[in-house]
Amino acid sequence: MKYTLITGASRGIGEAMARYCAAKKFNLILVARSREKLFELAYKLNEEYDVDVQVYVADLTEAEAPQKIYNWCVENKFHVNMLINNVGIGQYGRFEDLTLKAQLDLIQLNQIQTVTMTHQFLPMLKEHYESYILNVASTASYQPIPYMSVYAATQSFILSFTLALREELRHKHVKVSCLCPGPTATDFFDRAGLESLPVNSSEIKMSSEEVAEVAIEGMLDNVSEIIPGTSNTIGAYFSKLFPNKWVLRTVAGLFAPKV
Ligand SMILES: NC(=O)c1ccc[n+]([C@@H]2O[C@H](COP(=O)([O-])OP(=O)(O)OC[C@H]3O[C@@H](n4cnc5c(N)ncnc54)[C@H](OP(=O)(O)O)[C@@H]3O)[C@@H](O)[C@H]2O)c1
């Protein structure tokens, strides 16, 4: 049976993508750490949409997790034809004030995990007549962000990696896309320590359901960079258009800690 594997599927954008995929009758493999949430979601999606939903509980900061997930899929004959590398966390603060360990863990989760999962699953994806990789980055991909320096760098990495891989696989039947959401109403902001910033305004946030629909339809349409929402698309465009120095100063103003 074919499966769509989604990392970071227990809540937020990952959960919304799981729901949207289930409604499209895709069988699912849900990966995250929260066992109860994952099994509850799997039960609901199975009941509501009559799709097969499997759960793999893992801490994806552990380097060997992708190999273990892959082996489990092979043992159980779960043929993954859509890989959605959604897992990711943010971290707000001055580079020198955040611990090195926390920042290296963030690189491991956001960046190394995406590369490892993709490398691990690519041979399986290539076995299908048509298959998909959706890597989740952010509008943070389009410019450096002072006070979120490592997070924004990981997002630029994901976008660059994804677009290069897409080109390498252009003549194969694996379609590769990058999702670059802007502010979205999930737990991400609170967990990243961004509660008190203007970017945390509920007025500018999209819902995770809106983002999920644009993401999955964009992936199926083989769109290279999927940016949900007009204002996010315009923002990304301006970041490319204006000089780096000007963009950086503007962004620094938005993200600077209150003194
Ligand atoms: N929300 C936004 O404004 C926004 C904007 C741009 C880009 N994004 C990107 O969108 C993606 C999803 O973010 P979100 O907003 O949905 O965040 P979220 O609501 O905080 O969800 C994060 C998901 O990742 C899982 N996760 C976190 N650490 C993990 C770990 N060590 N091992 C395994 N799973 C882990 C969480 O589940 P457990 O805690 O159960 O493990 C959860 O399912 C991220 O890549 C983020 O960078 C978000």
Confidence band, pLDDT 50/70/90 cuts, at residue 259: low
Residue 148: φ, ψ to 5°: -140, 45
What are the tens digits of pLDDT across the range 182-231? 999 999 999 999 888 877 788 889 999 999 999 999 999 999 999 999 99
CA distance 229 to 248: 22
DSSP 110: I
In the chain, what are the domain boundaries? Answer: 2-255
Average pLDDT (125-144) is 96
Average pLDDT (85-113) is 97
- Reading across the β-sheet that carries 2-7, which strands appear in turn? 53-57, 28-32, 2-7, 79-85, 131-136, 174-179, 225-226
CA distance 227 to 179: 6
% residues pLDDT > 70 (the chain)? 100
Q: Which CATH class is domain 2-255?
A: alpha beta
Structure tokens at 198: 């203007």
Helix (H) or strand (E) holding 117: helix 113-126
Q: How far is the CA of 105 from the centre of ligand 1 (A)?
A: 14
- Residue 23 confidence (pLDDT): 98
Q: How far is the CA of 65 from the centre of ligand 1 (A)?
A: 17
Asked if residues 185 and 140 have their Cβ atoms less than 8 Å apart, the reply is: no
Residue 167: φ, ψ to 5°: -65, -40
Residue 126, SS3?
helix
Which one-letter amino acid corresponds to residue 231?
S
Average pLDDT (150-156) is 98
Please, what is the end-to-end C-alpha distance for the chain in angstroms? 56
What are the tens digits of pLDDT across the range 166-189? 999 998 899 999 999 999 999 999
| Residues within 6 Å of ligand 1 by CB | 8-14, 32-34, 58-61, 86-89, 109, 136, 138, 181, 183-184, 186-188, 191
Asked if residues 56 and 76 have their Cβ atoms less than 8 Å apart, the reply is: no
Residue 158, SS3?
helix
Asked if residues 186 and 208 have their Cβ atoms less than 8 Å apart, the reply is: yes
The neighbour count for residue 170, using CB atoms within 10 Å, is 10
What pTM was computed for the model? 0.97
Q: How far is the CA of 258 from the centre of ligand 1 (A)?
A: 26
Residue 178: φ, ψ to 5°: -120, 130
The atom number, within ligand 1, closest to the CA of 208 reads: 16
- Residue 258 confidence (pLDDT): 75
- Residue 127 confidence (pLDDT): 94
